[in-house]
Amino acid sequence: GVPELPARPIAERRVSRRIQVGPVAVGGGAPVSVQSMTTTRTSDIGATLQQIAELTASGCQIVRVACPTQDDADALATIARKSQIPVIADIHFQPKYVFAAIEAGCAAVRVNPGNIKQFDDRVKEIAQAAQDHGTPIRIGVNAGSLDGRLLKKYGRATPEALVESALWEASLFEEHGFRDIKISVKHNDPVVMIEAYRQLAGQCDYPLHLGVTEAGPAFQGTVKSAVAFGALLSQGIGDTIRVSLSAPPAEEVKVGIQILQSLGLRQRRLEIVSCPSCGRAQVDVYRLADEVTAGLEGMEVPLRVAVMGCVVNGPGEAREADLGVASGNGKGQIFVKGEVIKTVPESRIVETLIEEAMKLADRMEQDGVGP
Ligand code: SF4
């Protein structure tokens, strides 16, 4: 049948306060959102908006832009106004850009307490400006730029050090009555990162932005992020996620969405259930799975398509899915909603599956299933 959100979620979500990043609610039981960061020079407004449009199309809900120079700060107002999704300005080193970003109408500002030196003296003014504009602040602690004092105290970026840095910074804002905060404590080692977020989750009620920093190239970064986010989200920890990959940002979004779908935290869309193939396979399962995936790319409805190599598990899986094929003897039995509707030669399996998938999708859309 139609895979819906499981009746029982994977875990009770941790109770966190809610902040608004533009129209996107973060925390307080809001759906876990997916974000990414542009790789363009922010001062290049055209290129940045173009990349934001691509990210939006890939399903990104919040986008962050770096702001290392005055030219970048000057570009923020136009970018924030023209972007289809809320824009967070990412500020290291310069408190003056925090004010610029707030005034530019950014949906939030990320600050790194380890990198903004004269920050502590100016928290009062920042809290005031953020309060006046309704702009939340992300306190983004990063293992690579941990506050010198804490590095000395702990010797390295331990979970305790990351958490202490974040909560210390939050306490400076709290002194001025400002609590419109979300927090991240990123580390490149999922083991340290998971422990840091667990500790942080127990010590505050701020919404948490999950990230494994410098996670690496696509394959390694995907696995690290999936493992780390999976461990935390399956305990109800995490309100918004960013997968960091040394790859185009739209890839990060795809991975992020897939992680949420895998955990049942977001409605599944197209799902290909394909077997790994083995010595019993009577068709080329990899090719079939790839061709079916390519042919159905972009499908918006929650359709489960089984592509199975032989009759051992084939009929069972194909029957459980909305649509499937169990192959054998150069032929494929095509199942729709549990019934064999036809048997086709191997050369026609892919086109038949795609055809039937389109029909099912049309029906589902008419019935109002989907986004
Ligand atoms: Fe092997 Fe058949 Fe299972 Fe595929 S479905 S892994 S071919 S036994």
Ligand 1 neighbourhood includes 308 CB (under 6 angstroms): yes
Residue 242 β-bridge partners: 35
pLDDT above 70 coverage of the chain, percent? 96
Q: Taking the model in full, what pTM does it have?
A: 0.88
**314 pLDDT more than 80:** no
Cα(349)–Cα(288) distance, integer angstroms? 8
DSSP string covering 258-318, please?
Answer: HHHHHTTSS---SEEEE----TT--S-HHHHHHHHHHHTTT--S--EEEEESSTTTHHHHH
Burial code of 291-309, b = ≥16 C-beta within 10 A, e = fewer? bbeeebeebebbbbbbbbb
| Residue 356 tokens, joined | 């039937």
**139 pLDDT more than 80:** yes
pLDDT at residue 5, rounded to an integer:
61
The ipTM of this complex is 0.97
Q: Is 310 annotated as a binding residue?
A: yes
Ligand 1 neighbourhood includes 323 CB (under 6 angstroms): no
Q: Is 67 annotated as a binding residue?
A: no
pLDDT digits (tens, 9 = 90+) for 191-213: 999 999 999 999 999 999 999 99
Ligand 1 neighbourhood includes 82 CB (under 6 angstroms): no
CA 316 to ligand 1 center in whole angstroms: 11
Mutate to test the pocket of ligand 1, among 312, 325, 327 (most ligand atoms within 8 A of CB): 312
pLDDT digits (tens, 9 = 90+) for 273-287: 999 999 988 888 899
Of ligand 1's listed atoms, the one at least distance from the Cα of 282 is 7
Of ligand 1's listed atoms, the one at least distance from the Cα of 308 is 5
CA 223 to ligand 1 center in whole angstroms: 25
Beta strands in 127-214 (DSSP E): 137-142, 181-186, 209-210
Instruction: Using pLDDT thresholds of 50, 70 and 90, give the confidence band for residue 116.
Output: low
**118 pLDDT more than 70:** no
Of ligand 1's listed atoms, the one at least distance from the Cα of 279 is 1
pLDDT digits (tens, 9 = 90+) for 153-188: 999 999 999 999 999 999 999 999 999 999 999 999
